[in-house]
Every structure is written in C-alpha cells, then in structure tokens.
Amino acid sequence: MDFLTLIQILDTTVRLATPLLFACLAGLYSERAGIFDIGLEGKMLAAAFFSAAFAAITGSVWLGLLAGMGASLFLSAVHGLASITFRGNQLISGVAINFLAAGLTVLIAQDWFQQGGRTPSLAGAARFNEIDLPFQSALADVPYLGPIYSELISGHSILVYVAFLTVPLTWYILFRTRFGLRLRAVGENPAAVDTAGVNVIWLRFVAVGICGVLCGLAGAYLATGLQAGFVKDMSSGRGFIALAALIFAKWRPWYALFACLLFGFFQALSFRPDVVKAVLQFEIPGQLMDALPYILTVVILAGFVGKAIPPRAGGEPYVKER
Amino acid sequence: MTIIKKMLGGAALLALTSTAALSEPALMYDLGGKFDKSFNEAAYNGAKRWAEETGNSYREIEVTAEAQRVQFATQLAERGFNPIVVLGFQNASTIEEVAPKYPDTKFAIVDVGWLDLPNLRQITFAEHEGSYLVGMLAAMASETGTVGFIGGMDVPLIRHFACGYAQGAKSVNADINVVANMTGTTPAAWNDPVKGGELTKAQINQGADVVYAAAGGTGVGVLQAAADADILSIGVDSNQNHMHPGKVLTSMLKRVDNAVYDVFANGVEGFEPGVVTMGLGNDGVGYALDDNNASLITADMKSAVDDAREKIIAGDVNVVAYYENDSCPALDF
C-alpha cells in the first residue's frame, strides 16, 4: 500500500467519522445529564430530511441547516417533555422518536415533492460544497506533508471542521465551566444538585437541547454535505453506531473523537478490500468490518478492556423529594 | 356475544361482496419502494401505462418490512384482486405460501423462476445480457482501463448483474480491471446513498472512471458521487440518464414495466402460467439511449454494441449466467 492510498483511506475515514462524531457528542451531552437517548438516529433522519427539503425550496444550504436543527430540536423537546417533565421511560421515548422520524420524513417528502419520499437533487449553493484551505495547491507537491494537507485536511465541507472543533469545545464546556460541572453532576446525583439550589429540570432540558442541535448538524451533513438530497432511511443505523461509539468512548469527548475515527476507519477499510488483501495477505469479509464497531462495544461493555461506567443517574427521571 | 356474531357476519358479508365486485389486478412492490427510480418504479410505470390506456384501475401496495410480505399478499388475494403481480426474489417464499391457498387467483412474480405452481407466472430477466452490453459501453468509454461496479445487497441476482457486466467489459478490452463492491448484506443496503457515494469515491481512487450501480436507492448516491467527481456512471432498471444529463453514460434497462403491463393486459382469461424469460430477443433488457446521453455514445460504440446484441440473440456469443454454477468466469467475488 502506498502513501497516497493511505491518505485516501484516511480521507474517507474523516468524511464518514463526521456524522458519527456529531451524533456521538450529541449523545454525550444528553447522557452526561442523565437522559439516555436512543433517538439519535431518528433526530438525524429528521434533520437530514428538513435540511435537504428547505435547501431545495430556498436554494440556501444555511437555511436548510437551520431547518434541520429546528426539526431535531423539536424531537428533542418531545423527548424532554416525555422523559423529563412527565418522567416517562427514556428508552421507549427514544424508540418512539426513531419510528416517528422514519415514517414522517417519507410522508412529508412525498406530500411536498411527489418524488417517492425523497427530495430533489441539490446543486450549487443548496449544498455544502467542499472548501479548499489556503495554499493547498501550492503545498500539494511537498513530499508527505503536501498530500496530507491538500488531500486529507483540505477539501472537506465546512461541517467537517465544525465537528472536529466541537470536540475541544465540548471538553472545555464539560470539564472547565461551572455549567459543565453542574451538567455532569445532574447525571450523577441530581438530588445533590437540587439541594445546591440549581434547577435540575432546566439543566436537563438544556442538555437535551444541545443534543438536538448536534444531531441536526449530523443529519444536515448527511443530506447536504455528503450527499445532495434526502433518501428515505438514509441515516441507515449511524445513530446506533454513534451510541456504540459513545459507550466505547466511556462518555468522554476526546475518546469519542478516537472512537468515531476508529469506526469510520473500519468502514473506509471495508470499501477497499483490495488494500486489506494486499497488506494482510488474506481477505477480511466486509460484513466483519461492518460488525466490528458493535463487537468492540460488546467487548468493552463486558469489561474485558477497562470498564464503561455510565452516568449513575442515567435513565432515571428525577423526582423531587417531598 | 351477539354483537361479536353480528360483526363477524358483517365482515364476512363485506368480504363476499368485495370479492364479487372486484376483479381488478393488483401490484405488490418490494422493499425499496414504489419510487426507487429503478426496479419498483419500472413496475409502477407499466401498471400506470396499462391504467391510462384501458381506463381501468388497479390496487397497489408497498412492502416496508419483512413481516408484511405474507400479510399483504394474503390480503390482496382475500379481497379478490386478480391477477396479482408480486415483485422481487425476496417474495419467492411469500408466493410459495400464499398462492396454493388461493388456486383461483392468478399470481405473477418478477425475478423468480424456480417455483412450481399451476396458478403462477414467473418472469425472469436476462440481466446478464443487458449488463454485458453496458459493460461493453463502459469499457469503450473508459480512458483509465478500470471500470467499477457497485451492487446493493450481496445476493446472487446482483452478482448476476456484475458478472454480465464484467464479461462485457472484458470482451472489449481483455486487460480491463473491473472493481466490484457490494454495499452490504442486509436490505438496508438498498437505501444507503451515503455509503454508495463513498464506495464510488473509493473506486475512483482505484482508477475507475465509469461506475455501474445496480443498487436501488443506493444508486442515487453512486450517480451523484460520480457526477460530482466528473466521471461517468451507468444507471439500472429504469432509464436513469436524466438524473445527471451528460454524466450518466447509459442505463441498463430491465423492462419490468413491460412484464407488469403484459400480465395486467392479459387479465385473468389470458393468463399464462409458467416461466417466462425476458431477454435481448424480446426487448426484456437493453440499454438506454436518449437526448441526455447522445453525446456520450459514439457511432462506433453504438454499432459495436448493436452487433454484440445481434450475436447474443443469434447464440453466437454466450454470456455466462452467474446462476449456472454460482461463479463468474470474469470476476471474483
């Protein structure tokens, strides 16, 4: 395998890791505040549809992005209402959101566009085009560093850079600000936070809201960045892989980055069986590559490699003592 | 108790009257959906054409989950629709279960040719022959000497497509490199345009400059990624040339519309059971040529392909079907 092939595979890895990363960080905020979120998949799907639909109607991808985040936020609000305000089961609410999104997107798409549950193809300003960073063509000929810069780092849509910048931002918010401390505390011991005079319900709603915004970005990236339009069920399980990545990352932002990159890398490798065969001298079935994220998560959950300990108050609605 | 009896009686009466009133044909789509711009949509176009020409109506139903297959087919038969056309090889077991229970109802299934039922018409297509022709076009249009194939779910039918394609490409250029990938092994592989697009980019990285997608909804992503990268793509089943004019080399046509139209038009009286193969000879398969790709297909390419078509029909050229011994002479999977 030559250097350029490696760069190409890593390039694919970055593109595929981006939606996972958004969704994974979305789940991280929510679950750190004690609200499990199975509905990442549904929110991504809803955001993918509404971002593509509004981009197609208005011709502006930015309005599309706003619409996508709005749709995702709406589903987050439903999840919050069901599981925080009415203290319902968080898992059931999440599953309901997944079903709701899968059905509603196709239904609305058919009503609006009559193209069988898809949006028209987007072109030009209606999608996030790849942007070239400065000096990329000038540096392209520099050995090793040139291709890394011009192929791997440059030439992605802006949402990719946003995703990677969200990681240090999340780390800073969660571990260096008062808000982050409280958010984490709400997921561990809400009673203590309540005793300190902080509004638990409000904090949880904020966390679920951030989750909605990030899922909106993930969905918009799928439909308007990676692809040019919405196709039914196009999230195809990425929300669940993101959940697996979250557990694999033990609910930590930097680990989440590595987990998503690793899972993206497995997918990228499964697209290049020729490379895998050349390097390892034997073939690995693509199905195994696809299953690896889940297998690794099970291994982590079983406690073979370190222990994944979820936030202690996760999944439990907070009931104020009387 | 009496209420239940009355209700049951009412339901039975309703079922009877509806059976008597209807002899409309029905069409059951496979997963992928009515508007997949591909296989199912071709069937829809055939049914629509029949409805427009005759002024009659038909019933259609879309399968969205595995569990609905038998349920929906039974429902259609129970309500008296006749004949009933069912799409897709994944419905073979559905028909095996439902058709014997309704011996007076005529069934037709597309993409299945191995069942043995007296009230069933089985329509198969010689996809390998059509794919052979587009494979030739791909090889003639390719400048890099590498062409790609992206399948949907990894099943024998899709390998059958790939195999014909590879044979066609190699008939033009024996040294050509055919890169083949499958999107996945579950039905989700029919609806993952993101993965389709990334597979296309991976194939472009391997040098491919023409990519053939036989992948349902996933193919939308393949055609998009190919158009973005300014290489050529080949559509499948329906004519997909219009999706990116000037960027789609051609489409391998599988005239599911004709098959559905024929069954609907023949009705119950003209129904013929048995296995029917739609190939190049009876225009069951072919390649699409229209305004959108006229500039891409040169006169030389056209004459070469039309020549091959004649030879295949005459039996001078034999395109090996993947089904014959579950392997392909031109391509390893």
Instruction: Write the single-letter amino acid at B294.
Output: A
Using a CB-CB distance cutoff of 8 angstroms, which residues of chain B are in contact with residue A41? Answer: none
pLDDT in tens, B143-202: 999 999 999 999 999 999 999 999 999 999 999 999 999 998 888 888 889 999 999 999
Interface ipTM: 0.86
Cα-based distances in Å from A63 to A57, A58, A81, A231, B276: 10, 7, 27, 19, 52
Tokens of A273: 């069986």
Q: Determine the average pLDDT of the residues in A276-280.
A: 85
- Could you tell me if B120 and B139 are in contact, meaning their C-beta atoms sit under 8 angstroms apart? no
Name which of A117, A121, A233 is nearest B224 (Cβ-Cβ): A121
A316, exposed or middle or buried, with CB in 10 Å at 0-12, 13-18, 19+? middle
- Peptide bond preceding B83: is omega within 30 degrees of 0, i.e. cis? yes
pLDDT at B18 over 50: no
Give the model's pLDDT for residue B20.
39
Please tell me the least confidently modeled range out of A57-61, A137-141, A160-164: A137-141
Judged by CB atoms closer than 8 Å, whether chains meet at A5 and B205 is answered as yes
Using a CB-CB distance cutoff of 8 angstroms, which residues of chain A are in contact with residue B29? Answer: none
Q: pLDDT tier at B50 (50, 70, 90 boundaries)?
A: very high
CA distance B252 to B129: 10
* Within a domain: A218: yes
Judged by CB atoms closer than 8 Å, whether chains meet at A227 and B195 is answered as no
* Within a domain: A93: yes
Give the model's pLDDT for residue A138.
78
CA distance B100 to B120: 9
Using a CB-CB distance cutoff of 8 angstroms, which residues of chain A are in contact with residue B194? Answer: 222, 226-227, 234, 236
* Within a domain: A65: yes
Quick check: A222 contacting B, CB < 8 Å? yes
Judged by CB atoms closer than 8 Å, whether chains meet at B191 and A231 is answered as yes
d(CA A7, nearest CA chain B) in Å: 11
Judged by CB atoms closer than 8 Å, whether chains meet at B206 and A274 is answered as yes
Q: Which residues contact B104 (CB under 8 A, 6 or more apart)?
A: B82, B119
Cα-based distances in Å from B82 to A135, B124, B269: 67, 21, 10
Per the prediction, chain A carries an average pLDDT of 90
The Cβ of residue A168 has, within 10 Å, a number of other Cβ atoms equal to 12
| B11-32 CB burial, b ≥16 within 10 A, e <16 | eeeeeeeeeeeeebbbbbbbbb
Judged by CB atoms closer than 8 Å, whether chains meet at B206 and A272 is answered as yes
| Three-state SS sequence of chain A | CCHHHHHHHHHHHHHHHHHHHHHHHHHHHHHHCCCCCCCHHHHHHHHHHHHHHHHHHHCCHHHHHHHHHHHHHHHHHHHHHHHHHCCCCHHHHHHHHHHHHHHHHHHHHHHHHCCCCCCCCCCHHHCCCCECCCCHHHHCCCCCHHHHHHHHHCCECHHHHHHHHHHHHHHHHHHHCHHHHHHHHHHHCHHHHHHCCCCHHHHHHHHHHHHHHHHHHHHHHHHHHHCCCCCCCCCCCHHHHHHHHHHHCCCCHHHHHHHHHHHHHHHHHHCCHHHHHHHHCCCCCHHHHHHHHHHHHHHHHCCCCCCCCCCCCCCCCCCCCC
Give the model's pLDDT for residue A305.
67
Quick check: B224 contacting A, CB < 8 Å? yes
pLDDT at B204 over 90: yes
Quick check: B273 contacting A, CB < 8 Å? no
CA distance B128 to B192: 24
* Within a domain: A288: no
Quick check: A276 contacting B, CB < 8 Å? no
Q: Which domains does chain B have, with CATH numbers?
A: 2-126+257-278 (3.40.50.2300), 127-253+285-324 (3.40.50.2300)
Quick check: A174 contacting B, CB < 8 Å? no
Judged by CB atoms closer than 8 Å, whether chains meet at A236 and B179 is answered as no
Give the model's pLDDT for residue A4.
85
Judged by CB atoms closer than 8 Å, whether chains meet at A229 and B220 is answered as yes
Quick check: A188 contacting B, CB < 8 Å? no
Give one word for A316, left, alpha or beta, with left for phi > 0 and alpha for psi -120 to 50.
Answer: beta
Using a CB-CB distance cutoff of 8 angstroms, which residues of chain A are in contact with residue B182? Answer: 286
Give the model's pLDDT for residue B14.
47
* Within a domain: A317: no
Using a CB-CB distance cutoff of 8 angstroms, which residues of chain B are in contact with residue A116? Answer: 33-37, 41
A137, exposed or middle or buried, with CB in 10 Å at 0-12, 13-18, 19+? exposed
Judged by CB atoms closer than 8 Å, whether chains meet at A15 and B198 is answered as yes
Q: Which of A38, A75, A47 is nearest to A246 (CA)?
A: A38
Using a CB-CB distance cutoff of 8 angstroms, which residues of chain A are in contact with residue B199? Answer: 271
Give the model's pLDDT for residue B145.
94
Give the model's pLDDT for residue B2.
55
| B142-178 CB burial, b ≥16 within 10 A, e <16 | beeebbbbbbbbbeebbbbbbbbbbbbbbbbeeebbb
pLDDT at B15 over 50: no
Q: Determine the average pLDDT of the residues in A217-242.
A: 92
Judged by CB atoms closer than 8 Å, whether chains meet at A236 and B185 is answered as no
* Within a domain: A292: no
Q: Could you give the number of structural domains in chain A?
A: 1
Top-confidence residue, B143 or A294: B143
pLDDT in tens, B103-122: 999 999 999 988 999 999 99
Quick check: A236 contacting B, CB < 8 Å? yes
pLDDT in tens, B59-92: 999 888 888 999 999 999 999 999 999 999 889 9
Which residue(s) pair with A156 in the sheet? A131
Quick check: A281 contacting B, CB < 8 Å? no
Using a CB-CB distance cutoff of 8 angstroms, which residues of chain B are in contact with residue A12? Answer: 198, 201-202
Using a CB-CB distance cutoff of 8 angstroms, which residues of chain B are in contact with residue A229? Answer: 220, 224
The DSSP secondary-structure symbol of B104 reads: T
Quick check: B245 contacting A, CB < 8 Å? no
CA distance B5 to B11: 10
Q: pLDDT tier at A1 (50, 70, 90 boundaries)?
A: low
Residues 147-206 of B with CB under 8 A from A: 179, 181-182, 184-185, 188, 191-195, 197-199, 201-202, 205-206
Sequence length of chain A is 322
Top-confidence residue, A111 or B31: A111
Q: pLDDT tier at A169 (50, 70, 90 boundaries)?
A: very high
- The secondary structure element, H or E, covering residue B248 is strand B248-254
Its domain, for residue A92, covers: 3-127+137-236
3-class DSSP state of B110? strand
Give the model's pLDDT for residue A252.
93
Quick check: B216 contacting A, CB < 8 Å? no
* Within a domain: A297: no
Q: Determine the average pLDDT of the residues in A8-34.
A: 95
Judged by CB atoms closer than 8 Å, whether chains meet at A229 and B224 is answered as yes
